[in-house]
Amino acid sequence: MEPGNAGQVFPIFFAVWMLLGLFSAAFFFLSKNAALKRQVWPPFVVLVGILFLGFVWAMGFPLQTMYVAVPAVALITALNLRTMQFCDACGATVLSQNPFTKPAYCSKCGAKLNDSA
């Protein structure tokens, strides 16, 4: 498969993205192990960003697209890292509704969240 063949690459991208979404949602929203989720989250988010950029390249978008895609993926990665917390009390995954602030309390059990996510 050569870069630039979006017709071949997009179905693979779609399948990978669907599986990644299903399995990551199951893990991050069903698991109660906050410490493990806290450990897995940063490398997961970074690797997903790199994977996305790889698919952009493989689909043959012009190089100039990377001038927008790389900063956009970096911003989205930073916001994802900042807005996701994991509750030690109940193990819930807590997303901030405001992308510029970290959640302070668990939306499920009300416990104060650690600032170490």
Segment 66-105, tens digit of pLDDT: 999 999 999 999 999 988 999 999 999 998 888 888 888 9
Confirm whether 105 is domain-assigned.
no
Q: What number is the average pLDDT over the span 15-25?
A: 96
Confirm whether 104 is domain-assigned.
no
| Beta pairing partners, 85 | 94
The domain total for the chain is 1
pTM, rounded to two decimals: 0.85
Confirm whether 37 is domain-assigned.
yes
Nearest-angstrom CA–CA distance, 13 and 80: 21
Confirm whether 34 is domain-assigned.
yes
Confirm whether 103 is domain-assigned.
no
Confirm whether 29 is domain-assigned.
yes
Percent of the chain with pLDDT over 70: 94
Rounded to the nearest integer, the mean pLDDT of the chain is 90
Confirm whether 19 is domain-assigned.
yes
Q: What pLDDT score does 2 carry?
A: 52
Nearest-angstrom CA–CA distance, 14 and 68: 21
Q: Residue 48: what residue type? A: V
Confirm whether 43 is domain-assigned.
yes
Q: Tell me the residue length of the chain.
A: 117
Domain span at 33: 6-95
Residue 4 has pLDDT above 80, yes or no: no
Q: What number is the average pLDDT over the span 30-51?
A: 96
